[in-house]
Amino acid sequence: MSFALALTTLILFLAIGIWIAAILDALFYRRISGQGGVSVLSPFYAAAAHLSRQRLTTEAPDRLNWYLAIAGYLAIATIGLAVVPFGPETAVIGIKTSVVLWGACESLVVVLVFLHGWSPNSPLALIGAYRYVAIGLPIMLLSMFVLIAAALPARSLDLRDIVASQEGLWNVIRQPLGLPLFLLLGLSLTLRGPFDYADSADLAGGTSVEDSGANRAGWQVARLAMLVGFSAIAASTFLGGYLGPVLPGIVWLAIKTLILMAVVIGLSHLLARMPVARMLGLIWKFLLPIAFADLLLAGLVALA
Amino acid sequence: MTNLAFYTLSALAIWSGWRVFRVDSMIRATFALMVSFICVGGIALLMSADYIGIATVFMMAVEMTVMGLFMVMFMMNPAGLNPMQMVHQHRFSIGAGIAAFIGLTVAVLATNLPNNPLPAGRDTLHDLGVELLGGSMLIFETAGVTLLATMVGAVVLSSRRGRFGDSDAGAVPPGLQPGGQPAGRKVEKSGGHGGHGGDGSHDMNMNMKGAPKSDDAPHKGHGKMPEEES
Amino acid sequence: MTWMAKLALQAPVPVFVAQGDDAPAETTRLCLNSTLTIVETPRAAAILLVAGTIPASLVQHLHRLHDQLPHPRATVFWQAGPSDLLSEAVTVGKDDNLVSVLTDTRNSLLYGSRGTEADLLPDAPPNEWCGVGSHGQGGKGMMGGTPYGRPMAMTAADFRDGLELDAYTADFGPFLPMFPSGLVLTLTLQGDVIQKVAVVHPPFAGEGNAGAALLRLLGLPALAKRLLRGPSDDADFKRLIRLSGVRAAIPPGLGCAPNGSDVRERFERLTTDPGNPSKVHVEGVGLGDLLIGLEWHEAMLVLNSFDNESLRAICANTSSPEPEEKNGDSMDHEGHAGHMS
């Protein structure tokens, strides 16, 4: 696959992914609340409704950072998807250290969500921003352990090699602790459900409380784009990415991404969110040791 | 192409570094510094140090977030409503700036910079790993363990549960004789403390002398330090 | 009419509900209607729905809220008379079909046949800039001061350990979606921890649905809807509640009332038997005893775990603030919108 073809695939993958994610989200919500079905065009209607309204601002906001946060979040999601190999040796960003690049993306998400809450100059948004950093940093540590563990059997920090190393056995079986922990990171990166400490209901929408019109639509699209990017990364790291019989690699990748997307959305609608201090205790005292055990196990297996 | 990227990144790094001192918001200054570092990381990438380049981006994003938060820690003074004076100690900083500039310029001009291009296809990542866990292992491990000990120490110091009881209950070391004066150095009441935290040290004086303040009791049940949870 | 507006017509009508006194009982169940979305911030709404009468003391807040809706916007008064400044707003009586009026109003806004409503208040700071620093900063050193006549946050000792953090005082309410309707509190926050609390206006007497409010706060809006719908499919609902881990999510002992019930226990009662919430004994308990020291999420859980009658009693027990502490009043004006008052 040439670079141009890979880039086109990436953009199509992202756009269709966002659309499907929006529908899945509405579908889960309506199933659980006991309502009827969802129109497949409903995301477009919602986007048009947002875009038809004015973009309001607050008094003395940090306007530059406000726009940068929204655009940057979308850009980071795209970069995340770009390191995912669509086939053997084919990724838009094919570098030896693509897992580290994804780690950098994760940490930039914390920065951008913080900026999104900081910029509007509004107390509820600011509280959301501070809270998100408190949760976002330890969750990132957790994902580092998990990703290093996944890189160990491949003996490489290249996502392409990590996928290739799962030819015989997927990482989800080889490292059973990895995927569940990584999914928690996904909930946090996409500001969803039990890890939604930035845009939660107790802050009337948190960091996005002041967004209206195109800004609101942009932030929601960026969140969904991050969901697509994350799911594709998780599918490549744990479910063997493009590997699979008969069908072309890209189709397998799409199927696995779709499954993980549905799992993340389902978890976000089904699990309750605990107060932030309790969650911090859970992460530092319980989840981080488990992540460390995952890394230890992977290391022992690699040595054996 | 590489030259163009190099000059663009360098210009952006210098420009955002300059912005750090010109903006009137702490957060903007912090993240301008982050952009500057990210550009330097990009330059490292151009020099085929791909791990170090990306790790710079990664580390700086985390570091600047933490630094920004510590600077403005729980500062409920968001964005641009109240612009801040970001530069102070003008005379000293101008002097330090000029001295550093001259020193670094001399260092750059005087050093005989090496010129040995990397052979194509060389696995720098592998080399770096061998270096970290090979010849220089002792240095890196010593530094790592020291840093870890520092972090543990910092957490212990900031913990609510102190050596002599809960910090909010007025922790007092036991006396040398039963019922005697608390042991340890007496904190003197002086006006010599810095601008920050004047009230804090005053509070500490109170706690060192007095018995645990009883009016803290009603709040105890709600104490929200994370380690209390679970 | 553009294709964009045509698409937007298909979307549900985004409504922000401002509940007044004696709001119609159906107000809490409006979100069950699939042609509406009840949004949590006025910035996401096209229509401001005023349900019930807004007392004279809170009308100012309503006007500020109104100006925070993006254009094109409209106001609909439901079973209430419009206020003087909003005389051209739509009014809906008891017997009219509210949902069709809301949809028609939204459609006419999009068609352009109905003009958007202008701002009620001037879009300007309440006072002139009066920074003192050479750099334009508000106060001494790097922070503090009263730019625009509003005192900015200044450090104060945290009551737990004396750590100097910024204390921020402002009024919150009365239309915040996570507050019981009508409640206005003056809160002093350090970060997201509540340091001081004073009641400006108690909640209205009407019954909300505390169980659904708690579920929404816990990040389970779909289950909240299900609870509002009624206990028709009980077993399924109970299973979902159990699976969601709500019991583990609510810290034990949170918001303990004198009779021993905490938020966890009250939540259990509210979701299993929403029809008759049993009374909580609240003699001598003020909001300060319940909220001070809690972080924001926990405080919201505690506030929403009481029935309105108990909460009104608790508010009555809360000592009124000293005047000089209430510097937040001047802070929540139109532009500084976070309070959504």
Q: What single-letter amino acid sits at A295?
A: L
Task: Nearest by CB to A204, from C10, C41, C335: name it.
Answer: C41
The set of chains that have 3 or more CB pairs under 8 A with C is A, B
B99-137 pLDDT, tens digit each: 999 999 999 899 888 887 777 777 778 888 888 888 888
Greater confidence (B99 vs A96) lies with B99
Q: Is B85 on the interface with C (CB under 8 A)?
A: yes
> How many Cβ pairs closer than 8 A exist between chain A and B?
96
Helix or strand or coil: residue B199? helix
Crossing angle, helix B2-19 and helix B26-46, to 10 degrees?
A: 160
Any CB–CB contact under 8 A between C233 and chain A?
Answer: yes
Chosen for mutation from B222, B224, B229, B230 (greatest number of chain C CBs closer than 10 Å) is B222
Residue A113 contacts residue A165 (beta carbons within 8 Å): no
Q: pLDDT tens for residues C85-100? A: 777 777 777 777 888 8
Q: Which residue of C has its CA nearest to A203?
A: C178
Residues of chain A in contact with residue C336, where contact means CB-CB under 8 angstroms, are 58-59, 121-122
Out of B34, B54, B62, the one facing A101 most closely (by C-beta) is B54
- Between these two residues, B74 and A189, which has the higher pLDDT value? A189
Return residues 99-138 of B near A (CB < 8 Å): 123, 125
Q: Mutation test of the interface with chain B: which of C164, C189, C330, choosing the one with the most B Cβ atoms within 10 A?
A: C164
Token pair for residue A184?
Answer: 């928690």
In angstroms, the CA B77 to CA C167 distance is 10
CA-nearest of C219, B60, C172 to A111 is: B60
Q: What is the ipTM of this complex?
A: 0.84
Write down the pLDDT at residue C335.
36
The torsion angle over the Cα atoms of residues C18, C22, C25 and C29, rounded to 10 degrees, is 10
Q: Which residues of A touch C216 (CB under 8 A)?
A: 201
Residue with tokens 């602790």: A177
Q: If residue A19 lies in a helix (H) or strand (E), which one and from where to where?
A: helix A3-33
Q: What does the domain layout of chain B look like in residue ranges?
A: 1-109, 123-158
The pLDDT tens digits of the residues spanning A51-75 come to 888 888 777 777 888 888 999 999 9
Q: Which of B171, B178, B183, B179 is nearest to B210 (CA)?
A: B171
Interface residue of B30, B84, B229 to substitute, partner A, most A CBs within 10 Å: B229
Report which of residues B199 and A228 the model is more confident about: A228
Q: What is the mean pLDDT of residues C47-60?
A: 85
CB pairs under 8 A between B and C: 91
Check CB contact under 8 Å for A126 and B65.
no
Which stretches does DSSP call E strand in B72-170? Answer: 161-162, 165-166
- What is the pLDDT at residue C180? 86
Q: Beta strands C36-38 and C47-51: pairing type?
A: unpaired
pLDDT, average across residues C59-67: 85
Chain C residues in contact with B69 (beta carbon < 8 A) = none
Asked if the peptide bond before residue C174 counts as cis, ω within 30 degrees of 0, the response is yes
3-state secondary structure of A87: strand
Residues in B touching C336 (Cβ below 8 Å): 81
A222-260 burial, b for 16+ CB within 10 Å, e for fewer?
bbbbbbbbbbbbbbbbbbbbbbeeeeebbebbbebbbeb
pLDDT greater than 90 at residue A229: yes
Task: Note whether B70 contacts C: Cβ–Cβ < 8 A.
Answer: no
Residue B62 contacts A, CB cutoff 8 Å: yes
Range with top average pLDDT, A10-19, B190-199, C200-209: A10-19
Q: Calculate how close chain B gets to A115, using CA atoms only, in Å.
A: 8
Interface touch A107/B58, C-beta < 8 Å: yes
CB–CB contact A107 B65 (8 Å): yes
Q: Are A261 and A13 in contact (CB under 8 A)?
A: no
Q: Of C143, C189, C292, which is closest to B82 when you measure between CB atoms?
A: C143
Tokens of B166: 């809960």
What is the C-alpha R_g of chain A?
19
What's the pTM? 0.83
CB B83 within 8 A of CB B24: yes
Q: Is A71 helix (H, G, I), strand (E, B) or coil?
A: helix
Q: What is the CATH topology of the domain spanning B1-109? A: Four Helix Bundle (Hemerythrin (Met), subunit A) (1.20.120)
CA distances from A25 to A37, A42, A158 (A): 12, 11, 32
**Predicted pLDDT of residue C261:** 77
Nearest to C157 among B24, B200, B221 (CB): B200
Q: Is A85:A236 a contact under the CB 8 Å cutoff? A: yes
Query: What's the CA angle centered on C36, arms C34 and C39, to 5 degrees?
Result: 120
* CA-based end-to-end distance of chain A: 37
Sign of CA dihedral C242, C248, C253, C255: negative
Low-confidence ranges of chain B (pLDDT < 50): 79-80, 189-230
Rounded-to-integer distance, Cα A110 and Cα A43, Å: 26
Other chains touching B, judged by 3 or more CB pairs under 8 Å = A, C
Residue type, C291: L
Please count the other Cβ atoms lying within 10 Å of the Cβ belonging to residue C57: 11
Q: Please tell me which residue of chain C has the smallest CA distance to A279.
A: C249
- B149/C265 Cα distance (integer angstroms): 43
CB C165 within 8 A of CB C156: yes
Min Cα distance B54 → chain A (Å) is 6
Per-residue H/E/C for chain C:
CCHHHHHHHHCCEEEEEEECECCCHHHHHHHHCCCEEECCCHHHCCEEEEECECCHHHHHHHHHHHCCCCCCCEEEEECCCCCHHHCCCEEECCCCCHHHHHHHHHHHHHHCCCCCCCCCCCCCCCCCCCCCCCCCCCCCCCCCCCHHHCCCCEEEECCCCCCEEEEEEEEECCCCCCCCCCCEEEEEEECCEEEEEEEEECCCCCCCCHHHHHHHHCCCHHHHHHHHHCHHHHHHHHHHHHHCCHHHHCCCCCCCCCCCCCHHHHHHHHHHCCCCCCCCCCCCCCHHHHHCCCEHHHHHHHHHCCCHHHHHHHHHHCCCCCHHHCCCHHHCCCCCHHHCC
State how far residue C326 is from chain B, nearest Cα, in angstroms.
Answer: 16
Cβ contacts of C72 on chain A, cutoff 8 Å: 53-54
Averaged pLDDT of chain A? 87
- Chain-chain contact of B24 with C251 (C-beta, under 8 angstroms): no
